[in-house]
Amino acid sequence: MPEGNADIIRLNGAAKHFGAVRALGGVDFHVGPGECVGLVGHNGAGKSTLMHMVAGTLTPDSGRIGVHGGSEDNYSVSRAQQLGIRCVFQELSLCPNLSVAENTRINHASLRGFGWRRKAAELIAAKLDEIFPGHSISASDIVGDLSIGRRQMVEVARAFTVTQDRLDLVILDEPTSSLDAHTAGQLLAFVRRFVAGGRSCILISHVLGEVLRNADRIVVMRDGKVVVAAAASAFDRDRLVTAMGGAEARQKAAAQVAAAKPEASPLRVRARPAAQKDGAELVARAGEIIGLAGLAGHGQTDLLLAIFAAASRARAGIEVTAPVALVAGDRQSDGIFPQWSIAQNIGIRSLARLRNGLLISPQREAELAGFWQKKIGIRTPDMNNNIFSLSGGNQQKALFARALGSDAEVVLMDDPMRGVDIGTKLEVYDLVREEARNGRTFLWYTTETEELDNCDHIYVFKNGRIVANLRRDELTEEKIIQSSFGDAA
């Protein structure tokens, strides 16, 4: 390839095996200067493995890596840093016990000596101002005190800070998964400016629209291989989904949902947010899917948690008539028991049914896990493996299995699809609708407007209050944005 010398990074025939699992089977990949490469594919398609190689955190079993035209034999993280390649990993990689400025210091070996704290603070504050104007994050904030969205903002901004090393390529792995629409827009606009300035980005996202709008070139991966790579203009949404080998398009959803539910089905939840001043309240009946919309962090999660608490102990303003299960949004900190197997993680919500005398019956636990493995399609050779052996999307499926496998009639979902690939999403949507037809009630907080298409009824939240109450047929994106940003009605 004649232009090969100009590439920032080029991988030829990169392969990686984890035990018996082939994560990456001989991939050719390159990024040139001044381009934004979109990388899409299902969870488990090998995107993360490939990016870890680019960032130097994984070495390929075979294949070659070349950076800036030179061949790299001992490629490592610190080498990648020197060569100007950075990565924002999907799992947050900030130290929660340190301040924003101190976390910046960790990525810059040159921030040392007298006055390093001030330099680090100025560096990160300037970059935050540049990417997210009006961000309200202080460099002295302890990261553990920040919301997940702000942590992601810090992490992104940190990747773009420059001290002595050059900066040519930033890998953004699901950078917008915890951001609301406004900050996500700020970030993507910055990425465009960054690329226009002659530097490069790799953008990984499950929000296909983001990739289509912002990438110059799109690379589609499936089963550890690159299946298509072409200019972004050659793709539209359907072609991308087809290339990824995803399930069929989601259009059928709406029609099914629209089928009217009898008004008379029994009441499951009636709840009024604590901050609500008028009489508006959330009402959910058996068999309904209720959407909670609005900007991130405007009281949706709080209400879900209040409903969850009210199920076991009576609370003023909230009425719950059936057992409740919660699917957590921040699965690493609120959902998963890291030391446990997949089967144990699924069974924890159903211990009463799995009991045999005083002990948990391993056999029943295995049966429950096996049933849900088939039903929800958890991809693992053995459900007794540790939960972390699963990819992110499959971990989330296990959490769904935990809730759906329980006796809960009301399932609360706290933006559970964050960072999950589209194939998994479509499978879960189908499952949710099927369970709703069988009489289960879902309360679904989501930051992705598309997901609201699955809901019968949508409540829009602002500042901890319900500001709009929409039926499915009234739902449009404009209406939600209007109510989210408008004055409280």
Partner 1 sequence: MTAASVDTGLKASSERGALARARLLRGLLPALSLALVLIAIAWLNPRAISYFGFSLMLNLAIPIALATIAQMFVIAGNELDLSIGTFVGFVGCVTATWLKDAPLIGVAILLGSIGVYALLGALIHLRNLPSIVVTLGMSFVWQGLAILVLPKPGGKAPDWLLAIMAFKPPLVPFPIIAALLIGLVVHFGLMRTSYGVILRGSGGNPAALGRAGWSLLKTKIVLFALAGLFGVLSGMALIGITTSADANIGNGYTLLAIAGVILGGGEFVGGRVSPIGAVLGALTLALAASPLLTFMHIPPDWQVAANGTILIIVLAARVLISRRER
What is the binding site for partner 1 (CB under 8 A)?
55, 57, 76-78, 81, 87, 89, 91, 93-98, 102-103, 105-107, 109, 111-113, 116-117, 134-136, 141-142, 145-147, 150, 182, 295, 297-298, 462-463, 484-485
**57 vs 265, beta carbon nearer partner 1:** 57
Would the CA dihedral through 122, 128, 129, 131 be positive or negative? positive
280, 272 Cβ separation under 8 angstroms: yes
Q: How far is the CB of 78 from partner 1 (least distance, A)?
A: 4
**104 vs 454, beta carbon nearer partner 1:** 104
Q: How far is the CB of 141 from partner 1 (least distance, A)?
A: 6
211, 202 Cβ separation under 8 angstroms: no
- Which residues, including other chains, have CB under 8 Å from residue 344's CB and lie 6 or more apart? 337, 365
432, 446 Cβ separation under 8 angstroms: no
Q: Closest Cα to residue 192, out of 11, 38, 422, 54?
A: 38
Q: How far is the CB of 100 from partner 1 (least distance, A)?
A: 12
**361 vs 386, beta carbon nearer partner 1:** 386
**257 vs 295, beta carbon nearer partner 1:** 295
Q: Closest Cα to residue 225, out of 455, 411, 13, 53?
A: 13
Q: How far is the CB of 149 from partner 1 (least distance, A)?
A: 9
Q: How far is the CB of 459 from partner 1 (least distance, A)?
A: 18
Q: How far is the CB of 447 from partner 1 (least distance, A)?
A: 14
**142 vs 426, beta carbon nearer partner 1:** 142
**289 vs 466, beta carbon nearer partner 1:** 466
Q: How far is the CB of 43 from partner 1 (least distance, A)?
A: 19
427, 275 Cβ separation under 8 angstroms: no
Q: How far is the CB of 127 from partner 1 (least distance, A)?
A: 16
Exposure string over 317-352, b if 16+ CB within 10 A, otherwise e: ebbbebebbbbbbbbeeebbeeeebbbbbbbebbee
**80 vs 403, beta carbon nearer partner 1:** 80
- Which residues, including other chains, have CB under 8 Å from residue 275's CB and lie 6 or more apart? 299, 463, 464, 465
**30 vs 158, beta carbon nearer partner 1:** 158
Q: In one letter, which amino acid is 54?
A: V
230, 218 Cβ separation under 8 angstroms: yes
Alpha carbon distance 381, 33 (integer Å): 41
